[in-house]
Structure 1
Amino acid sequence: MTHSLTYSLTHSLSLRLAAIASAALIAGCASSKGPNQTSYDFGPIGAPAATQPAPAASAFPALVVADVTGPAMLDNQRMFYRLLYADAQQSRPYAYNQWSATPLQLLSQRLKTRIAQGGVKVLSTTDASGGVPLLRLEADEFSQNFDSATQSSATITLRASVFRSHRLLDQRTFARTLPAASADAPGGARALAAASDAVAADILAWLATLPAQ
C-alpha cells in the first residue's frame, strides 16, 4: 500500500514538473519571437512635388533608359544604415525591416517614371531603335546615415552617362542628401524616396542642356 502511494505521488510530481517545463519552454519561444518583417518601397508615384521646379524641355524626345546598376549590397532587399557617429565604415542591416524590391529596382522604376513625367519618351533596352540615345545610370551611394542616435539623413549618388551611337555624349555625377523626418526605417525610406525624386529632377535639368544632335 505504501509502495503504491509513493509511486502515485512520484508519478504525479513528474507529470507536474513536465507540464511546468513545457510551459516554460513555450513561454521562452514566444518571448524570443521577434516582430513581423515590414517591407517598404518609395510610395505612390504621383505628380512631382510642387516645391520642385518644372523641368526644362529635354533635348531628347525619346531616350533608352537602362536599369540602374550598382554594388552587390544594393542588389538585395535588405535595408542598410550607417552610424556615422560610431563607425562610418560599417554598414548595418535593419533586423525587421526590408525593401519590397531591391534598391536598384526601386531606383530604376522611380527614375524612369520621373523622366517620363518630364516629357521624355522612355524606352527599354529591348525596345531600343537605331539612333535613340541611351541613358545609363550607376548608383554609387544609397544609404541612410545617422549623425546621432536621434538624427539621420538619406544620401543618393548616381553617375549618369548619355551615349549616342555607342559614343559617350556626356557624363555627370548627381548627389542629393535630405534629412529624414524620423531616425528609423520608415523615416529613411521616405527620405530616400524624396532624394531619388530630387536626383531625377537634376537629371532632367541636365538633359535639357545637352545638344540634340
Structure 2
Amino acid sequence: MKLRAWRRAAGAVFILGLGLSLYGCGNFPARPEAPALYDLGLAEAVGASPAVAPAKLEVRAPSWLATPAMQYRLDYRQPAQRQVYAESRWAAAPAELLERRLLQAFSVPPSAAAGCRLRLDLDEFAQVFDSAEGSRAVIVARAELLSPRGENVLARRAFDLREPASTRDARGGVVAFRKAGDELAREIAAWLASVDSGAAEVRSGCRR
C-alpha cells in the first residue's frame, strides 16, 4: 500500500512538473518587433544651371548624426537632450539618405572628370518639438562649392529648413523631412544659379 501511494504521489508530482514546464514554455515574453525603417524617398530633378551643376556631391555629418537612429528633441522641456524613437529608424544615416536624394535631384553622374564639387556639412537633422502639440523637421547645413581639385572654396552658403510635421510621431517627422529635403534641393539650385550669374571666376572654375 505504501509503495502504491508513493508511486501515485510521484506520478502526480511528475505531471504537475510537466504541466508547469509546458505553461512556462508557452508564456515566454514575445520577441520585440523589428523597428520600422524609413528613407527620404526619390527626389524629382531640379533646374540648376548647367554651368555650376556639381560634378560631385558629398554630405558629411558629425558623429552624433552618423547613425540610423531617428532623433528628436523636446525643446519645450529638455532642449539640450537628444532622444531617439525606439520603434522607428532611418534606413541609413541621415547624411547618406540626404546625399542620395540630392544626387537624384541634381542628376549628378557617378563620376566626372571636371566640374566643381558641392560639399554639405550637416549641423542638425532632428525632429524638434516646440510644444507637446507640434513639431518640425529641422535640417541645418553649410554648403561649400569647391574647385574640381584641392580645397579652394569658391562660394559658401548656410541653409536652415524647418518643415512642420502633420502628426506628433515618427511618421509625421518622416513626411516633414521629405518635404524639407525637397526644399533644400530647390534652395541649393537657386543658390547655384545666383553664383553662376554673379561671379565669372566661379563660372569658369566650375564649367565642365
Q: CA deviation at 1:60?
A: 2.0
Cα-Cα RMSD: 2.3
Q: CA deviation at 1:40?
A: 0.6
Match of 1:4 in 2: 4
The aligned runs of 1:1-213 (5 Å cut-off) are 1-24=1-24, 26-30=26-30, 33-45=31-43, 47=44, 55=47, 58=49, 60=51, 62-116=53-107, 122-124=108-110, 127-130=111-114, 132-165=115-148, 166=150, 167-210=152-195, 211=199, 212-213=203-204
Match of 1:51 in 2: none
User: Aligned partners of 1:149, 1:8: CA distance in 2, in Å?
Assistant: 64
User: Aligned partners of 1:69, 1:95: CA distance in 2, in Å?
Assistant: 25
Q: Secondary structure at the match of 1:197?
A: helix
Q: Secondary structure at the match of 1:29?
A: coil
Tell which deviates more after alignment, 156-165 or 7-16: 7-16
User: Aligned partners of 1:3, 1:80: CA distance in 2, in Å?
Assistant: 69
Read off the aligned partner of 2:11 and give its amino acid letter.
H
Q: CA deviation at 1:25?
A: 5.3
Q: Deviations over 1:33-63 (max 9, x none)?
A: 3233211111243x47xxxxx75x5262542
Q: TM-score, normalised by structure 2?
A: 0.83
Tell which deviates more after alignment, 13-22 or 34-43: 13-22
User: Aligned partners of 1:19, 1:41: CA distance in 2, in Å?
Assistant: 48
User: Aligned partners of 2:52, 2:139: CA distance in 1, in Å?
Assistant: 27
Q: CA deviation at 1:74?
A: 2.5
Q: Secondary structure at the match of 2:54?
A: strand
Change beyond 3 A, Cα 1:29–1:62:
same
Q: CA deviation at 1:10?
A: 4.1
Q: Deviations over 1:75-108 (max 9, x none)?
A: 2222111122221211112112111122111000
Q: Deviations over 1:146-183 (max 9, x none)?
A: 22334221000111101225421111110100111111
Structure 1 runs not aligned, ≥5 long: 49-53, 117-121
